[in-house]
């Protein structure tokens, strides 16, 4: 169905989907949060969910290539290669929050490191997975 101005209403969405399918990449939202109390980790969360709509990647987006075995899921690859992924993702955006409570008898430090949930294009090959940052 055409809109009043003659354009197709989902033209840009369709083009983004075709581009993503041509690259054979799936899109995932990935986020990470680490909370530490007095320098001891108390909570660590890596969240991964498949995107419902394609994300737009530019040609000069940074990429990370990780080794994987055939039929290995993204979750297991990221758990095994967590340090490499966190270093890659933190180079783009990282939030650090620190709360220090100083009392007469003790000091309490509560720190939080957060990688905001962001969409990544993920392409699986036979022996590797390529993760590309999107906008």
Exposure b/e, 38-71, CB count within 10 A at least 16 = b: eeeeeeeebebeebeebbbbeeeeeebebebeee
In a domain, 2, yes or no: no
Q: Which residue has the higher pLDDT, 75 or 61?
A: 75
pTM, rounded to two decimals: 0.74
Question: Is 1 within the bounds of a domain?
Answer: no
* Domain housing 79: 11-133
Asked, for residue 125, whether it belongs to a domain, the answer is yes
What's the total number of domains in the chain? 1
> Would 5 be classed as within a structural domain?
no
Residue 78 placed within a domain: yes
Domain assignment present for residue 68? The answer is yes
Q: How many CB atoms lie within 10 A of CB 121?
A: 24
* DSSP classification of residue 56: P
| Terminal alpha carbon distance of the chain | 29
14 has pLDDT over 60: no
Encode pLDDT of 22-46 as tens digits. 456 899 999 999 999 998 999 999 9
The answer to whether position 3 is within a domain reads no
For the stretch 87-127, pLDDT in tens is 999 999 999 999 998 888 888 999 999 999 999 999 998 89
E-assigned strand segments in 1-106: 26-37, 40-50, 63-67, 95-102
48 vs 7: which has the higher pLDDT? 48
* Six token digits for residue 92: 């783009």
> How many Å is the Cα radius of gyration of the chain?
20
Q: Is 60 left (phi over 0), alpha (psi -120 to 50) or beta?
A: alpha
Residue 51 domain-assigned (yes or no) = yes
pLDDT for 103 equals 86
Query: Residue 52 in contact with residue 13, Cβ under 8 Å?
Result: no
């Amino acid at each position: 169905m055409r809109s009043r101005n003659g354009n197709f209403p989902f033209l840009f969405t369709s083009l983004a989907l075709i581009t993503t399918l041509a690259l054979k990449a799936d899109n995932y939202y990935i986020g990470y949060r680490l909370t530490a109390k007095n320098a001891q980790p108390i909570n660590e969360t890596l969240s991964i969910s498949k995107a419902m709509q394609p994300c737009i990647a530019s040609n000069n987006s940074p990429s990370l290539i990780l080794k994987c075995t055939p039929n290995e899921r993204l979750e297991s690859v990221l758990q095994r290669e967590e340090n490499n992924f966190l270093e890659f993702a933190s180079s783009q955006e990282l939030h650090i929050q620190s709360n220090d409570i100083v009392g007469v008898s003790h000091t309490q430090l509560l720190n939080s490191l957060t990688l905001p949930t962001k969409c990544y294009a993920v392409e699986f090959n036979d022996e590797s997975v390529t993760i590309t940052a999107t906008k």
